[in-house]
Structures are given as C-alpha cells and as structure tokens.
Amino acid sequence: MAEHNGTWWIWKVFWILLVITGVEVVLGIIKPEFLLTQVIGTSILNIVFILLTLVKAAYIVQIFMHVKYEKKAMKYALYLPSLILIPYLTFILLTEGSYLFS
Amino acid sequence: MSSNADLIQDTNHWGGGSRPLGARYGKLMMWFFLLSDALTFSGFLTAYGLMRFKYESTWPIAENVFTHFPGLEGDQPLLYVALMTFILIMSSVTMVLAVNAGEKMNRGAVTNWMLWTIVGGFIFVGSQAWEWYHFIIGDSGAVETARQEILHVYNAEGERLSFSQVVHGMEEGHASNHGETFTKAEVLSSMKGDASLYLKEPGKAGRAFTHAESVAFLEAGDVVQGANMIHNEYGRKQFANFFFFITGFHGFHVFSGVVINFVIFYNVLLGTYERRGHYRMVEKVGLYWHFVDLVWVFVFTFFYLV
C-alpha cells in the first residue's frame, strides 16, 4: 500500500489486539468488584468487554481489511447496512428475550 | 460504433467515474459475501442473546464450563480460549504480511507468510476439536429432573461436587469425572447416604433445594454426563445447542479458510500470480481470513466473557 512503508503498522495493530485481549482475559478472571455494578440491564464489566470488542473489531476491519483506505462510497456500502441492521436486530431480540416469560 | 467497454468508460455513475467503489469485481464480490455472512453470524449471536435473556437467572456461566487447559489440572477459566484467540490473531497478522508482500511482488515472502497462516489455522481448528471433545465428555455430571431441568450437586460448604466425589467420597474422588460414567443407582444411593448433599440450579441466580427435595428429583429424573444436542450437564440444553452451532459454523469457516488458503498457497508455489503480474487473489482470500478472525472476536466476547 502506498500509504505504508515496511511492516511496522501491521505489528502495531498486532500489539493493540494482543493487549486488549490480555486486558479482557485478566478482567474476566479477576472480575473486579467495582465493575460489577448493574447498569442498563447488565454489569459495567460486560459493557467494558463489549466496548473493547468493538475497538478490536474496528482495528481488524479498518487496518487489516484495508477499509480505512477504500473510497467513501465503498465505506458507506459496507458500513451502513451493518451498522444499521446489526444494532437493530440486537436491540429487538434482546428486548423481546426479556419479555418471553411474561 | 463504440464497444460496450467504451460505453462503460463514458458513463459517470454516481459521480464516481466508471469505478464508483474503487475496487475490482472480485474484491467487491468478496466484500458483499462477507457482509451477508456478517449478518448471518449476527442472527446466530443475537438469537443466542435472546435465549440467554430469557433464561437469565439459570444460564450456565461459561467460566464454569470451559475450565480445562492441556496438561494442567483444576480450574483454568479463560486461559485456553485466550490461547486460541491469540493463535487466530497471530494468523491474521501473518495473512496481512502475506498480502503486503504480494503488493511488493515478493514471492518468497508471500510463500512464507501464507504457510504460517495455514499452520495457525490448523492449530486453531485442532484446538477447537479439543475443546469440543472436553465439552462432549463432560466434567462433573448433573441431575436431569423429569421436567428436563438440570441441577448440580453441592455439599454443606457450598462446593460443587462431581459424581466422582459424590460416589467415591471427597478423598478418593476427582473434581472432574475423567470420563468415568456413573449410573443413576450409584449416585442416588450416595445422595441418600449423605444428608448434607443437595441440588442447585446452575447460573448466577439458581435456586437451591433441600436434601429431601433433591433425592426426590433424582428418583424421578436421571443422571446426565457430558453434553450433546439433547442433554447438557452444564445447564440449559440451548446453551449446548448454540455452542455447537455457532462455534461449529465458525469452525467450518476456519476449516474452509484453511483449504482456500492452501489452494492459493499452492498457486503461489506454482508461480501462477507471478505470471499474472499481481497477487490480488492473496488479497481476496486475506479478506475472508480476517473476517473469520473478526467473527471470533465476537464469539469470544459473547460466549466466554460476558
């Protein structure tokens, strides 16, 4: 790729992904007390896990899959359907799931 | 008369010229396939979420289910799956390195990095097979009531006991059944013989039952060991169903990715892309491989962490 020289940018993303996964595993094993407070139907810890996951996903898609360097039309074609449909589906199903017993 | 190619050149689609998305046909089709595949996986994972929200209080806790690490005894929650995640991230990195080398037309480096990617993929599929094996064989065993609800054995100290510990006693028994099978009669007579034993639902808010209720549950029900599509000693059978289905579907993607990577690797060896003048096939298969890694990032979070 024209924007990059060498392979340092690949290893940079590797270290970011590795450190985030490491943090997730450590948090998952020790489960710090102060992160177990319940907010919007789940614990702060779970929200932290989901945010870290989205950061990892963003690095994989943007850098490893090169989307960051694609044309704007291509970005819209890929991001709009996924960023609208997936959160929508998640919202609908999780909300319904909580009502299935009532 | 101008040819079709000229017509396409002259048309200004969406104000973006003749290549509005700036990507070639093959790459574009790979991307649209991946987009639809992403929605498929979202469907599976959100369906898992639906069941989990429905059975919130008794849903099995993953860190009590996947506790084994090769060569280590006792509880090692998350370590094995962390290792699997590391292997998959690493093979994604070697794939980017292969694509990067392809852009520089460096055939030797492409060969090298593709080979490492294939090795990483194989290790991952093998690790998943090992995890499935332990999940299917089971760990502590459980009581399945006549109404098909799963209950686990606990002692007065509130420790979860395996059938091995129930039948052979705390001194002789192992924390894991190690593949030994126990009959309903064996477990029932040991349960009756020790009034401190009781049954409890799995999950973070599972109810506990008295000793008398527990014995009655076992008398009317049966013992289950291991997990399959019908019985699941860890808890709700939907947990096992989703585990097999989602990690199986992902594992099948990894397996087909390894096969496709091998075909591309073989063509790199033959010099096909050198003659073609570009390594775009490596880039396309790379997108698929990164997608497999991307899905795993979500499976890891929603199956093992949250």
Domain boundaries, chain A: 1-69, 70-102
pLDDT at position B151, please?
Answer: 94
Chain B residues within an 8 Å CB radius of A70: 21-23
pLDDT at position A102, please?
Answer: 64
B263 and B133 both lie in a single domain:
yes
Query: Among all residues of chain A, which has the CA nearest to that of B20?
Result: A73
A60 near B CB under 8 A = yes
CA-closest candidate to residue B300, choices B88, B27, B29:
B88
Q: For a pLDDT cut of 90, what percent of chain A falls above it? A: 62
Do B38 and A86 count as a contact with CB atoms less than 8 A apart? yes
Reported confidence tier of residue B11, pLDDT bands at 50, 70, 90: low
A61 near B CB under 8 A = yes
Tell me, yes or no, whether B161 lies in a domain.
yes
A65 near B CB under 8 A = yes
- Which of B32, B46, B283 is the best substitution to test chain A (most A C-beta atoms within 10 A)? B46
Tell me, yes or no, whether B3 lies in a domain.
no
Q: Tell me the pLDDT tens digit for each residue of B107-136.
A: 999 999 999 999 999 999 999 999 999 999
A16 near B CB under 8 A = no
Chain A residues within an 8 Å CB radius of B280: none
* Mean pLDDT rounded to a whole number for chain B: 89
Tell me, yes or no, whether B263 lies in a domain.
yes
A91 near B CB under 8 A = no
B127 and B269 both lie in a single domain:
yes
Of residues A19 and B148, more confidently modeled: A19
Last residue in a domain, options B192, B224, B256:
B224
Return the number of other C-beta atoms located less than 10 Å from residue B139's C-beta: 24
Q: For a pLDDT cut of 90, what percent of chain B falls above it? A: 66
Query: Among all residues of chain A, which has the CA nearest to that of B67?
Result: A29
Q: Which long-range contacts (CB under 8 A, 24 or more apart) does A19-25 make?
A: A20/A52, A20/A55, A20/A56, A21/A56, A21/B82, A21/B85, A21/B86, A21/B89, A21/B300, A22/B82, A23/A52, A24/A49, A24/A52, A24/A53, A24/B300, A24/B301, A24/B305, A25/B78, A25/B79, A25/B82
pLDDT at position B178, please?
Answer: 80
For residue B213, the enclosing domain spans: 142-224
Tell me, yes or no, whether B131 lies in a domain.
yes
For A97, the closest of B16, B53, B297 (CB atoms) is: B53
> Worst-scoring range by mean pLDDT, A18-22, B104-108, B156-160?
B156-160
Instruction: Give the CATH number for residue B74.
Output: 1.20.120.80
Last residue in a domain, options B195, B224, B253:
B224
Instruction: Give yes or no for a contact between B9 and B18, defined as CB atoms under 8 angstroms apart.
Output: yes
A55 near B CB under 8 A = no
pLDDT at position B19, please?
Answer: 74
B131 and B34 both lie in a single domain:
yes
B257 and B287 both lie in a single domain:
yes
Q: Tell me the pLDDT tens digit for each residue of B215-254.
A: 999 999 999 999 999 999 999 999 999 999 999 999 999 9
- What ipTM was predicted for this assembly? 0.92
A47 near B CB under 8 A = no
Do B86 and A18 count as a contact with CB atoms less than 8 A apart? yes
Do A74 and B22 count as a contact with CB atoms less than 8 A apart? yes
Q: How many CB pairs under 8 A join A and B?
A: 128
Do B50 and A86 count as a contact with CB atoms less than 8 A apart? no
